[in-house]
């Protein structure tokens, strides 16, 4: 079956003009319209995908409480709290309404989109959210631009509403998924497989203890070395754990051009990575939710678009 795609133009972030607002540091590296650019390019290349487009809906407060403390959610009501999650004290100078509409509400929608992708994956095998994958958000607070742990919430719902007993997270964003691993630490029904650059943010030693399969890389790792590790370790992990669901966090900040990932994986190897992960889960009949996660180069939207098109064509050949 073809994958389902989850996307809305409201996924895009609206940041202040760098010329008029405060200096927003790394936030200004973001391609704020990445989701829309990726979907537009994918549709131009493959108009048929429109038939499998699903609309996201904002995540509810009750769903957020599955992964976050009441005190964190209650305090997310002023500019200072948002600036703290962004790691940018200067953002506190912006009006709350602006920050909320520009960043928090798109993430609420994207987190709900991951839940729409979960339902779709359980029905048709693969659900791809063109946003989401906010893997740094922890129970007591967001960090690293991540407000809501959509992956952890999807895990909780997969267990409580769908009765799944073994769930794997395959996190291949360049950064360690410290929020997700800290939230699921001690939960034997969840296994986190994480390949990340161990020399950059977040350097969270405590959260690494929550990883079942911990694969830190050095800065500058090439595509050949990256794929060699992935192709050796992922099949072993999936066979050992036999998950009933995989949440694949497909960050594109591993690409060499990315200003934050510090890896040297070429574009073609990023495409091969995505194809490999999804072929491994498909071969084993494991429903898979894919989230877009990080990516700060101008290639990010193109790689996200390629994931959408490649997966559509892959399943077209089979049906």
Residues that bind Zn ion (CB under 5 A): 173-175, 251, 253, 294
Which residue number places its CB atom closest to Zn ion? Answer: 294
Sign of CA dihedral 298, 48, 154, 276: negative
Rank residues 120 and 250 by Cβ distance to Zn ion and give the closer one. Answer: 250
Provide the minimum distance between the beta carbon of 258 and Zn ion in the complex, in angstroms, as a whole number: 8
Q: From the candidates 68, 135, 136, 175, give the one annotated as an active-site residue.
A: 136
Active site residue 136: yes
Q: C-beta of 164: minimal distance to Zn ion in Å?
A: 26
- Tally of CB atoms within 10 A around 279: 12
Q: How far is CA 126 from the centre of its chain?
A: 15
Q: Residue 226 or residue 312: which is nearer to Zn ion going by CB?
A: 226
* 149, 183 Cβ separation under 8 angstroms: yes
Q: Which is nearer to Zn ion, 73 or 229 (CB)?
A: 229
Where is 67: in which H helix or E strand? none
Instruction: Look at the alpha carbons of 35, 37, 42, 48 in this order and tell me if their dihedral is positive or negative.
Output: positive
**Minimum CB distance to Zn ion smaller for 52 or for 176:** 176
Of 263, 200, 262, 261, the C-alpha closest to 227 is 263
- Specify the residue, 137 or 158, whose C-beta has the smaller distance to Zn ion: 137
- Residue 170, C-beta contacts closer than 8 angstroms, at least 6 positions apart: 193, 234, 246, 247, 248, 249, 277
Q: What is the Cα–Cα distance from 175 to 134, expressed in whole angstroms? A: 11
CB of 265 to Zn ion, least distance (A): 13
- The alpha carbon dihedral of 205, 210, 214, 219 has a sign of negative
User: Please, what is the minimum distance in Å from the beta carbon of residue 69 to Zn ion?
Assistant: 24
Quote the least distance from Cβ 51 to Zn ion, whole Å. Answer: 31
For 283, residues 6+ apart whose C-beta sits below 8 A from its C-beta are none
Any idea which residues carry the catalytic annotation? 136
């Amino acid at each position: 079956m073809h994958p389902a795609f989850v996307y809305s133009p409201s996924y895009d972030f609206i940041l202040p003009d760098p010329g008029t607002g405060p200096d927003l540091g790394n936030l200004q590296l973001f391609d704020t319209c990445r989701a829309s650019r990726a979907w537009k390019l994918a549709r131009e290349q493959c108009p048929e995908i429109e038939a499998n487009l699903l609309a996201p809906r904002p995540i509810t407060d009750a769903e957020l409480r599955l992964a976050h403390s009441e005190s964190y959610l209650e305090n997310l009501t002023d500019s200072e709290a948002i600036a703290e999650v962004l790691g940018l004290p200067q953002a506190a100078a912006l009006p709350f309404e602006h920050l909320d509409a520009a960043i928090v509400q798109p993430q609420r929608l994207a987190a709900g989109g991951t839940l729409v992708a979960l339902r779709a994956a359980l029905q048709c095998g693969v659900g791809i959210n063109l946003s989401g994958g906010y893997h740094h958000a922890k129970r007591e607070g967001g960090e690293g631009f991540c407000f809501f742990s959509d992956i952890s919430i999807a895990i909780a719902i997969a267990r409580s509403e769908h009765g799944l007993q073994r769930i794997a997270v395959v996190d291949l964003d360049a950064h360690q998924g410290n929020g997700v691993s800290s939230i699921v630490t001690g939960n034997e029904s969840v296994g986190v497989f994480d390949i990340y650059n161990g020399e950059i943010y977040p350097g969270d030693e405590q959260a690494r203890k929550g990883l079942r399969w911990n694969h830190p890389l050095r800065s500058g790792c090439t595509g050949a070395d990256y794929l060699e590790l992935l192709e050796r370790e992922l099949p072993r992990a999936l066979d050992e754990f036999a998950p009933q669901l995989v949440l694949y966090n497909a960050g594109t900040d591993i690409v060499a051009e990315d200003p934050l990932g510090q890896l040297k994986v070429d574009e073609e190897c990023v495409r091969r990575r995505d194809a490999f992960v999804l072929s491994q889960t498909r071969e084993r009949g494991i429903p898979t939710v894919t989230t877009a996660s990080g990516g700060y180069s101008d290639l990010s939207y193109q790689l996200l678009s390629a994931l959408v098109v490649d997966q559509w064509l892959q399943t077209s050949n089979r049906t």
